[in-house]
């Protein structure tokens, strides 16, 4: 029985797309097994709109896989199991691959370039690419500053062969979100909402990005992240010269394409990233777009070759102010907005009052922040290593019954079976083959460490093991600990040497 799991999963994935189309009209006989049934029947009457929902990624396809599989007449238990495995695998793929203690560029200067050309009117994302992009980039900006509190960002837009500035380089997420929102819903009622039109120009975008990043201090990174929906770039001059200039200014460009790969994008990325093309990825659906965007919130690894080339650019001792909070009975003017506020933070150098942190002091240009802002970046510097999948054999050996983090009960190991051990590895390889169409999405350069270079896969025993404390966790805790908490509850609740 166990043997069929993987094979069957592979088949299912191959047929996935056809399956989901064909299944729209079918009755959902197996849906009860996953508990998605209710939602589906709700959605079903909505006719065409179902399509949009179908595209929302694996959630939809899982259910339809089920129906296909029902025809194959497999036991309900194994269906449930493989659905669960697939779900876990999907989740684990999202784990950021930043678990190696690389030196990272914590202080980032990022120019986010949005494609506002007519290609963004395509409806392969719902309702269309443009609206999807606007929606996800707002999330993205928030997440970016959550992860990189002492970084700066600027947003540009490309349309009609031009590159326009959407928001200035600043460290305030609210500014950027308002500006991105303002593309569709201008704050000034006289402005017309921007609709995608014309063609984008990569050259103009790179030039404007270069101008924006020109004055940023050299100890920070200079990054350009382009969301690029079209399949052409309308440039006024020789883009290769611009690429050269970007390389010289040590700007690294990441491009998130849509629908297909472009030679010129590949070249831009590879030239500006020292030959590494993994920063050029193509989003084939909106879930992937969101994931690819979020992947760039992790600070980039500082490359060794580069630091050798320009040693002075890597590290610096930065003067920063740690202001104290003042509580005032009488409102006074703040230096940042010029409005009356009671309370705020005073700059320790010039005593100007600012409303929120982190901020650059408007009067003396000192960077003001809280020590907690620095602490927020520590998890990039001391990352929590990815947890390993646990084979049944290992689970039996450790005798783990429940998740250390949340006390959820694990499935019992199946009775001892000599074949079981041999099968585990083979099954894994099959899965590797399945995730082909992603097109290198999220696959970073192969790290040296063999252990960590493996794709993050689902574990057959639903357990994930911390390599340090050997505690076993469930998939939910795995996700939570790596994406939100950045602590291992197991390691932290037993001091080394304690019983």
Partner 1 sequence: MNAIDGTVRQVKTDDTPPPSLLAIVLDTNPHAWAHLSSTLPLSSAIANLLVFINAHLASGNANEVAVIASHSRRAQWLYPTPKGPISHHPSSNGDANGDIEMNGVSHPNGSTTTTTPAKENANKYRPFSTVENAILSNLSNLLSSTTESDLASTPTTLIGGALSLALTHIAKSTLLHSPVDPLASDNPLSALADSESVARTQRIPLTSRILIISVSGDLANQYIPVMNSIFAAQRKRIPIDILKLAGDTVLLQQASDATGGVYMKPERPEGLLQYLMMAFLPDAVARRSLVMPSAGGVDFRAACFCHRKVVDIGYVCSVCLSIFCEPNLPGNLCLTCGSYLSLRAAQTATPALVARKKKKRKRVAGTDSATPSGTPAATTPMHP
Nearer to Zn ion, 74 or 364 (CB): 364
Each residue 165-184 as x (binds partner 1 by CB under 8 A) or -, in order, gives: x--xx--------------x
Query: Cβ distance 471 to 463 under 8 Å?
Result: no
322 closest CA partner among 359, 363, 355, 376: 359
Cα torsion for 455, 263, 224, 280, to the nearest 10°?
Answer: -10
Question: CB-based contacts of 258: which residues, under 8 Å, 6+ apart?
Answer: 119, 122, 124, 125, 129, 228, 229, 282, 283, 284, 289
Which one among 2, 33, 264, 320 touches partner 1, defined by CB under 8 A? 320
Q: Which of residues 306-325 bind Zn ion (CB under 5 A)?
A: none
Q: Which of residues 37-96 bind partner 1 (CB under 8 A)?
A: 38-39, 43, 46, 48-49, 52-53, 56-57, 59, 91
Angle at 331 between CA 325 and CA 334, to 5 degrees: 65
* 46 or 494: CB nearest Zn ion: 494
Distance CA 318, CA 302 (A): 18
Q: In the set 52, 483, 485, 491, which binds Zn ion (CB under 5 A)? A: 491
336 binds, among partner 1, Zn ion, none (CB under 5 to 8 A by kind): Zn ion
Binding test (CB under 5 A) with Zn ion, winner from 166, 180, 292, 488: 488
User: What's the half-sphere exposure (Cβ side, CA atoms, 13 Å) at 15?
Assistant: 17
Q: Which residues between 330 and 369 bind Zn ion (CB under 5 A)?
A: 334, 336-337, 347, 349-350, 352, 355, 361, 363-364, 366
Of the chain, the end-to-end C-alpha distance in Å amounts to 40
Looking at beta carbons only, is 397 or 416 nearer to partner 1? Answer: 397
Smallest separation (angstroms) from partner 1 to the CB of 387: 13
Structure tokens at 480: 């939570």
Q: Among 2-10, 73-81, 330-338, 476-484, which window interacts with partner 1 (CB under 8 A)?
A: 476-484
Of 411-440, which residues contact partner 1 (CB under 8 A)? Answer: none
Residue 250 binding target from Zn ion, partner 1, none, CB below 5 to 8 Å by type? none
Minimum distance from CB of 322 to partner 1 (Å)? 5
Distance CA 288, CA 275 (A): 24
106 lines the binding site for Zn ion (CB under 5 A): no
Q: Give 192's contacts (C-beta < 8 A, 6+ positions apart).
A: 186
Angle at 88 between CA 86 and CA 90, to 5 degrees: 70
For partner 1, which residue of 15, 28, 78, 161 counts as binding (CB under 8 A)?
161
* Of residues 291-310, those binding partner 1 (CB under 8 A): 294
Given the complex with partner 1, which of 11 and 99 has the nearer CB atom? 99
Partner whose footprint covers residue 468, from partner 1, Zn ion, none (CB < 5 to 8 Å by kind): Zn ion
Task: Measure the CA–CA gap between 327 and 345, rounded to whole angstroms.
Answer: 9
Q: Is 198 in the site for partner 1 (CB under 8 A)?
A: yes
Secondary structure (3-state) at 139: helix
* Residues numbered 378-397 forming contacts with partner 1, rule: CB under 8 A: 378-379, 381-382
Q: Which two tokens stand for residue 153?
A: 């960002």
Q: Is the dihedral of CA 143, 145, 146, 151 positive or negative?
A: positive
C-alpha angle 7-9-10 in degrees, rounded to nearest 5: 65
For residue 393, the partner it binds in partner 1, Zn ion, none, with Cβ less than 5 to 8 A by kind, is none
Only one of the segments 23-31, 230-238, 248-256, 484-492 lies at the binding site for Zn ion (rule: CB under 5 A); that segment is 484-492
Alpha-carbon distance 200 to 133, whole Å?
15
Between residues 370 and 469, which has the closer beta carbon with respect to Zn ion? 469
| 24-32, 78-86, 206-214, 269-277 -> range binding partner 1 (CB under 8 A) | 206-214
CB of 426 to partner 1, least distance (A): 29
**Beta-sheet strands, E only, within 45-140:** 108-115
Q: How many residues are present in the chain?
A: 499
CA of 129: how far to CAs of 61, 126, 135, 259, in Å? 21, 7, 10, 11
Residue 106, interface with partner 1 (CB under 8 A)?
yes
Write down the least CB distance from residue 291 to Zn ion, Å: 23
Q: How far is the CB of 425 from partner 1 (least distance, A)?
A: 27
Site string for partner 1, 117-156 (x = CB under 8 A): ------x--xxx--x---x--xx--xx--x---x------
Please choose which of partner 1, Zn ion, none residue 419 contacts, taking the beta carbon within 5 to 8 angstroms, the exact cut-off set by kind.
Answer: none
Angle among Cα 86, 490, 407 to the nearest 5 degrees reads 60
Q: Which long-range contacts (CB under 8 A, 24 or more apart) does 492-497 make?
A: 493/404, 494/469
Q: Nearest to residue 392, comparing CAs of 366, 368, 415? A: 415
The distance of closest approach from Cβ of residue 388 to partner 1 in the complex, given in angstroms and rounded to an integer, is 18
Binding residue (CB under 8 A) for partner 1 from 19, 220, 344, 442: 220
Write out the two tokens for 83. 């659905």
Which of 103/266 has CB closer to partner 1?
Answer: 103
From partner 1, Zn ion, none, which one binds at residue 160 (CB under 5 to 8 Å depending on kind)? partner 1
In sequence order, the 6+-apart residues with CB closer than 8 A to the CB of 279 are 252, 253, 254, 255, 269, 273
The pair of structure tokens assigned to 215 is 């004055």
- C-beta of residue 80 within 8 angstroms of C-beta of residue 36: no
Q: Least CB distance from residue 346 to partner 1, whole Å?
A: 10
Sites of contact with Zn ion (CB under 5 A)? 334, 336-337, 347, 349-350, 352, 355, 361, 363-364, 366, 403, 405-406, 408, 466, 468-469, 474, 477, 488, 490-491
């Amino acid at each position: 029985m166990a043997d069929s799991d993987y094979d069957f999963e592979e088949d299912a994935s191959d047929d996935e797309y056809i399956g989901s189309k064909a299944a729209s009209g079918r009755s959902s006989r197996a849906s009860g097994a996953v508990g998605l049934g209710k939602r589906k029947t709700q959605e079903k009457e909505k006719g065409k709109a179902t399509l949009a929902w179908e595209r929302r990624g694996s959630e939809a396809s899982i259910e339809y896989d089920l129906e296909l599989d029902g025809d194959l007449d497999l036991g309900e238990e194994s269906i449930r199991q493989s659905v669960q495995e697939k779900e876990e695998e999907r989740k684990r793929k999202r784990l950021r691959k930043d678990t190696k203690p690389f030196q990272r560029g914590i202080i980032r200067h990022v120019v986010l370039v949005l494609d506002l050309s007519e290609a963004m009117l395509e409806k392969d994302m719902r309702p269309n690419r443009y609206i999807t992009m606007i929606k996800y980039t707002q999330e993205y900006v928030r997440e970016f500053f959550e992860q990189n509190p002492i970084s700066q960002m600027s947003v540009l837009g490309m349309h009609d062969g031009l590159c326009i500035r959407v928001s200035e380089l600043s460290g305030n997420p609210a500014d950027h979100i308002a500006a991105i929102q303002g593309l569709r819903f201008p704050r000034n009622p006289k402005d017309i909402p921007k609709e995608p039109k014309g063609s984008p120009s990569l050259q103009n975008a790179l030039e404007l990005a270069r101008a924006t990043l020109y004055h940023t201090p050299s100890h920070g990174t200079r990054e350009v992240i382009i969301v690029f929906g079209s399949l052409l770039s309308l440039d006024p001059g020789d883009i290769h010269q611009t690429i050269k200039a970007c390389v010289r200014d040590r700007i690294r460009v990441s491009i998130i394409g849509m629908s297909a790969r472009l030679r010129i994008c590949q070249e831009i990325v590879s030239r500006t990233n020292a030959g590494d093309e993994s920063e050029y990825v193509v989003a084939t659906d909106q879930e992937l777009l969101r994931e690819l965007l979020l992947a760039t919130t992790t600070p980039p690894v500082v490359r060794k070759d580069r630091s050798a080339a320009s040693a002075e650019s890597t590290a610096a001792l930065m003067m920063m102010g740690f202001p104290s909070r003042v509580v005032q009975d009488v409102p006074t003017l703040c230096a940042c907005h010029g409005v009356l506020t009671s309370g705020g933070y005073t700059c320790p150098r010039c005593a100007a009052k600012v409303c929120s942190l982190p901020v650059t002091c408007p009067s003396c240009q000192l960077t003001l922040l809280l020590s907690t802002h620095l602490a927020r970046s520590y998890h990039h510097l001391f990352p929590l290593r990815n947890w390993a999948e646990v084979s049944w054999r290992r689970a039996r050996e450790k005798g783990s019954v429940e998740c250390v983090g949340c006390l959820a009960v694990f499935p019992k190991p199946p009775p001892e079976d000599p074949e079981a051990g041999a099968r585990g590895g083979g099954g894994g390889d099959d899965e590797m083959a399945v995730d082909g169409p992603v097109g290198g999405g999220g696959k970073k350069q192969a790290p040296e460490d063999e252990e960590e270079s493996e794709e993050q896969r689902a574990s057959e025993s639903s357990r994930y093991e911390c390599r340090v404390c050997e505690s076993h966790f469930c998939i939910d805790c795995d996700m939570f600990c790596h994406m939100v908490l950045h602590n291992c509850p197991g390691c932290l609740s037993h001091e080394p040497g304690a019983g």
